[in-house]
Amino acid sequence: MNAFARFFRLAEHRTSIRTEVLGGITTFAAMAYIIVANPAILSAAKIPTGPSTVATILVAVFGCLLMGLYANRPIAVAPYMGENAFIAFSLTAMGIGWQLGLGAVFVAGVVFLIITLLRIRTWLATAISPSMKHSFAAGIGLFLAFIGLYVSGIITNFSEGLPTPTTPTLPRTNVPVKLGNIRDTRVLLAAFGLLLTVALMCRNVRGALLIGMAVTAVAAYFAGVGAKPTAIVALPFTGEYDLSPIAFQLDIIGVLKLSFLPVLLTLILMSLLDTLGTLVGVGAAGNMLDEKGNLPQMERPMLVDAVTCMFSATVGSSTAGAYIESAAGVKEGARTGLAAVTTGLLFAGALFFIPLVQPLQSLGFVYGPALVAVGVLMFGSVRKIDFDDFTEAVPAFVAVVLMVFTLNIANGLTAGLIAHPLLKLASGRVREITAGGVVLGLLCLAYYVFGLPH
């Protein structure tokens, strides 16, 4: 026990083994939904769910252990929500296969590693205005909420239920989506699951997302629209949980083409902002920030983020990074890496119980409400956008609406970062334009000049 205390510097952080373990368990309960949600989302990119589930858990184990043992921070790591949707939906819409998507994740991880070691990553992060950072979080939140509503059936395509058209394409419509069939049992279950999840969150119940999915799945089974697990335990890395179909299948060469720059840029920006926001947010929750509002030795968790991204792509999953749900464990008193190690070990144990949760991955009305709930949490960042300053409000608004209305996160990120310095220039406020902002704006401009905007 004394060895644990010395290694994680428990006395220095005024904590105990019991407090850290409890915090790690709380964080795991808050973010375990990713075991279901990430493979389910990535299945839209035709990544098989069995291997994808194993990869998701492995990434969480690797990232949490590295964060705890190297960075000594109570921050859990797993595949990001938002980035997985970008690979599954945005890249698929562009006709880009998942192998290229994973290649982009790996290259982005290499870039993270290099710019973190050179301290450029921090420079770029500080160059983005607070309003723009919060708009990215709000936009991704709405994006996830839209996906959650769609896969759950609460909203659906306008052509759903219409007669088969005699012409090759349906006529244009002013309303591309519409309300789903609210009398459908699955849609009613999705609404029930969303209400239950939000009610649990209002009561600050740990693991509200996971509980909401579990209860909805049980209700679906008794309603005749769900499936029960074929087993409770199973050995990972064998049979349908064999990693070989997705591990080391990433296409790195294809990512190095100029036309692929917008995809790479988007993944880099999303992860950069997600990680920065999470580190600061979790640090604030635990009073771990310095007098300037920065997390001491931020480069260490950023290096963990970079290395985990590379590992994630190698085993076959999407961009990974620090999880905001870690704040749940921090609020329970966690202050050191022992909490992250505890979370990682719990994920490792989950490797043997995949059959128990696997039926949920094919039921959009079960995991869809969790996406909506996560979207609500992320959309809360909209409150921190400076709407009194049009040079901040308009680029932020552009970023949010283009993410959602074009169903493409890249469009929102790039358009917002281009509009921001242009509006500052047009309004005569040149001094507010940072060198990093100009660099980011030019890189984003390449998306529209050389990329494949859609």
The pLDDT of residue 305 is above 80: yes
Q: What is the pLDDT of residue 276?
A: 76
Q: What is the pLDDT of residues 45-79, one digit of tens each?
A: 999 999 999 999 999 999 999 999 999 999 999 99
Residue 359 lies in a domain: yes
The pLDDT of residue 105 is above 60: yes
Identify which of 126, 144, 4, 157 has the alpha carbon closest to the alpha carbon of residue 72: 4
> Tokens 């098989």, residue?
48
> Tokens 């709000």, residue?
138
Residue 454 lies in a domain: no
- Bigger pLDDT: 454 or 206? 206
Which range, 18-27, 343-352, 360-369, 372-381, has the best average confidence (pLDDT)? 343-352
- Bigger pLDDT: 266 or 405? 405
Predicted confidence band at 451 (pLDDT cuts at 50, 70, 90)?
low
User: What 8-state DSSP symbol labels residue 159?
Assistant: T
Question: In this structure, what are the phi and psi dihedrals at residue 320, rounded to the nearest 5 degrees?
Answer: -120, 160
Predicted confidence band at 123 (pLDDT cuts at 50, 70, 90)?
confident
> Looking at the DSSP assignment, which residues form a beta bridge with residue 179?
155
Give the other-Cβ count within 10 Å of 291's Cβ. Answer: 5
Q: Is the Cβ–Cβ distance between 323 and 77 less than 8 Å? A: yes
pTM of the model: 0.80
Residues 311, 324, 393, 132: is their CA dihedral positive or negative?
negative
For the chain, what is the radius of gyration of the CA atoms? 22
Predicted confidence band at 159 (pLDDT cuts at 50, 70, 90)?
low
Q: What is the pLDDT of residues 233-263, one digit of tens each?
A: 999 999 999 999 999 999 999 998 877 887 8
Domain count along the chain = 1
Mean pLDDT, residues 325-340? 88
Q: Is the Cβ–Cβ distance between 308 and 66 less than 8 Å? A: yes
- Bigger pLDDT: 292 or 285? 285
Residue 354 lies in a domain: yes
Q: What is the pLDDT of residues 129-153, one digit of tens each?
A: 889 988 988 888 898 899 889 989 9
Q: Is the Cβ–Cβ distance between 237 and 315 less than 8 Å? A: no
Which stretches does DSSP call E strand in 42-163? 77-79, 155-157
Q: What is the pLDDT of residue 230?
A: 82
Beta-carbon contacts of 80 under 8 Å, excluding residues fewer than 6 positions away, are: 270, 271, 274, 318, 319, 320, 321
Q: What is the pLDDT of residue 220?
A: 94
Q: What is the pLDDT of residues 272-291, one digit of tens each?
A: 777 877 787 777 767 777 76
Distances (CA, A) of 141 to 19, 109, 146, 379, 403: 31, 23, 9, 5, 10
Residue 164 lies in a domain: no
Q: What is the pLDDT of residue 167?
A: 47
- The torsion of the CA quartet 85, 91, 92, 94, rounded to 10 degrees, works out to 140
Residue 167 lies in a domain: no
Structural domain boundaries, residue 217: 7-159+174-375+386-449
Residue 55 lies in a domain: yes
Q: What is the pLDDT of residues 206-217, one digit of tens each?
A: 788 888 988 999
Q: What is the pLDDT of residue 342?
A: 96
Give the angle subtended at the CA of 453 by the CAs of 451 and 454, to the nearest 5°: 150
Q: What is the DSSP string of 164-207?
A: PPSSSSPPP-S-SEEE--TTSHHHHHHHHHHHHHHHHHHTT-TT
Which range, 94-98, 166-170, 216-220, has the best average confidence (pLDDT)? 216-220
The pLDDT of residue 173 is above 80: no
Residue 23 lies in a domain: yes
Least confident among 40-54, 116-130, 188-202: 116-130
Identify which of 110, 46, 80, 84 has the alpha carbon closest to the alpha carbon of residue 245: 46
The pLDDT of residue 169 is above 60: no
The pLDDT of residue 452 is above 70: no
- Bigger pLDDT: 172 or 363? 363
The pLDDT of residue 82 is above 90: no
Residue 166 lies in a domain: no
Average pLDDT, the chain: 88
The most distant pair of C-alpha atoms in the chain lies apart, rounded to whole Å, by 75
